[in-house]
């Protein structure tokens, strides 16, 4: 018998649960261009603060990476093809079956967040996008909005699952313990607070978030 160790688990969506790296690489044309484009986007987005249209930030990152500005629209049009990491479905279902409330906090528009969340095959209790919160992570607003919509839960009693190390800055301010799903082996930015746990897969999340009784 498994029961929740936390009051809720909140997820980054586009890197923690979904293999968006493959989609970006495919749209860019190869892995090197895709990684460079994505790195520029992540750095720029996490420094943006107040919400600006997501597609504009993606387009600006493409230009910065030496790619076509039109790739941003292509990427958005292919969001429905995002694939979850292989173990994501089983992990999410196990958490839900144990009675764990689940939320998404993601840096994109609300419409794309809904499309991407659907790709996981799971119905989340709360889906907060940067657009709806009015700010991009790691600003505290998106995390706090999700906690409020989960019923005003205390951040120390919840767990955030990050896909990018930039989330560590925001979750530290809010007081959310953070499991970093470091799928591709990213180097944390200078000064990033430590994660509560760091793994290359989501599988250990079951033992982190649930307790056997």
Are 198 and 158 members of one domain?
Answer: yes
Are 35 and 105 members of one domain?
Answer: no
Cα separation, 213 vs 209, in Å, equals: 13
Cα separation, 106 vs 145, in Å, equals: 12
pTM: 0.95
Q: Which of the listed residues 59, 80, 101 is the one where a domain comes to its end? A: 80
Above 90 in pLDDT, residue 167? yes
Are 150 and 203 members of one domain?
Answer: yes
Whether 130 and 146 have beta carbons less than 8 Å apart is answered as: no
Q: CATH no. for residue 106? A: 3.40.50.1000
Are 116 and 205 members of one domain?
Answer: yes
The number of folded domains in the chain is 2
Are 95 and 12 members of one domain?
Answer: yes
Are 74 and 8 members of one domain?
Answer: no
Are 115 and 144 members of one domain?
Answer: yes
SS3 for the chain, per residue? CEEECCCEEEECCCCCCECHHHHHHHHHCCHHHHHHHHHHHHHHHHCCCECCCHHHHHHHHHHHCCCCCCHHHHHHHCHHHCCECCCHHHHHHHHHHCCCCEEEEECCCHHHHHHHHHHCCCCCCEEEEHHHHCECCCCHHHHHHHHHHCCCCCHHHEEEEECCCCHHHHHHHHCCCEEEECCCCCCCCCCCCCCCEEECCCCCHHHHHEEEC
Are 68 and 157 members of one domain?
Answer: no
Are 147 and 192 members of one domain?
Answer: yes
Are 102 and 158 members of one domain?
Answer: yes
Are 73 and 161 members of one domain?
Answer: no
Q: Which of the listed residues 38, 65, 80 is the one where a domain comes to its end? A: 80
Parent domain of 34 = 20-80
Each residue of 70-98: pLDDT tens digit?
999 999 999 999 999 999 999 999 999 99
Each residue of 88-142: pLDDT tens digit?
999 999 999 999 999 999 999 999 999 999 999 999 999 999 999 999 999 999 9
Q: Which of the listed residues 41, 60, 80 is the one where a domain comes to its end? A: 80
Are 33 and 74 members of one domain?
Answer: yes
């Amino acid at each position: 018998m498994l029961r929740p160790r936390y009051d809720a688990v909140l997820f980054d969506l586009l890197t923690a649960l979904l293999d968006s790296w493959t989609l970006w690489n495919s749209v860019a044309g190869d892995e090197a261009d895709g990684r460079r484009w994505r790195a520029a986007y992540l750095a720029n987005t996490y420094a943006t603060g107040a919400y600006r249209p997501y597609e504009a930030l993606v387009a600006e990152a493409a230009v910065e990476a030496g790619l076509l500005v039109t790739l941003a629209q292509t990427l958005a049009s292919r969001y429905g093809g995002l694939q979850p990491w292989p173990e994501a479905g089983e992990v999410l279902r196990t958490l839900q079956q144990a009675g764990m409330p689940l939320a998404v906090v993601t840096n994109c528009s609300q419409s794309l967040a809904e499309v991407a969340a659907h790709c996981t095959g799971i119905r989340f209790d709360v889906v907060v996008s940067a657009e709806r919160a009015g700010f991009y992570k790691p600003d505290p607003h998106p995390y706090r909005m999700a906690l409020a919509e989960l019923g005003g839960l205390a951040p120390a009693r919840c767990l955030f699952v990050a896909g990018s190390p930039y989330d560590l800055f925001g979750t530290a301010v809010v007081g959310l313990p953070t499991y970093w799903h470091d799928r591709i082996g990213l180097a944390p930015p200078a000064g990033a607070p430590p994660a509560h746990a760091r793994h290359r897969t989501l599988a250990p999340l079951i033992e982190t978030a649930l307790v056997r009784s």
